[in-house]
Amino acid sequence: MLSSLFQATSIPVLEQVVNFTQARNTVLAGNIANLDTPGYQARDLSVEDFQERLKTAIQSQQSGGAATSPGELAAESATPLAEVAKNSVSMLRHDQGNVNMESQASEMAQNHIQHNLALSLLIDQFHLLQSAISEKV
């Protein structure tokens, strides 16, 4: 019952965005930490691949790919959104360019903004659920 309540909101999508931005922040921080390492190649997680996989998972879920009633709910690992998280590891790409402090800091700032936005929206969703559960409008 509670799982179907969460699946009816944007919480699973926001959760994937938060997880991706956290992982990307770690990779970008590693690039900055290795700025002076000779021969170090910058790494990044492909935002485009993540967005495409997330879009496909959302469309699959909306078109009936996900269970619609509590009796039909499968394990969380079988949902399309869970597949996005599983496949995030393969999105790592190696950039052949040099590590550039300005570009890394810019990417980190953009990633930080996206992360904070997703967290704010997630908090709002939980507040809405809390209000609905406590019957306060």
Domains contained in the chain, number:
1
The tens digit of pLDDT for each residue in 35-87 reads: 888 878 889 999 999 999 999 988 888 776 544 433 343 444 456 666 666 65
- For residue 127, give the 3-state DSSP assignment: helix
Contact call for residues 85 and 19 (beta carbons, < 8 A): yes
Tell me which residue of 22, 23, 24 sits closest to 104, measured CA to CA.
Answer: 24
Residue ranges making up the domain that contains 21: 2-134
- CA distances in angstroms from 122 to 38, 86, 102, listed in the order given: 41, 21, 30
- What is the C-alpha separation between 118 and 14, in angstroms, rounded? 6
Tokens linked to 135: 């019957």
The answer to whether the pTM exceeds 0.85 is: no
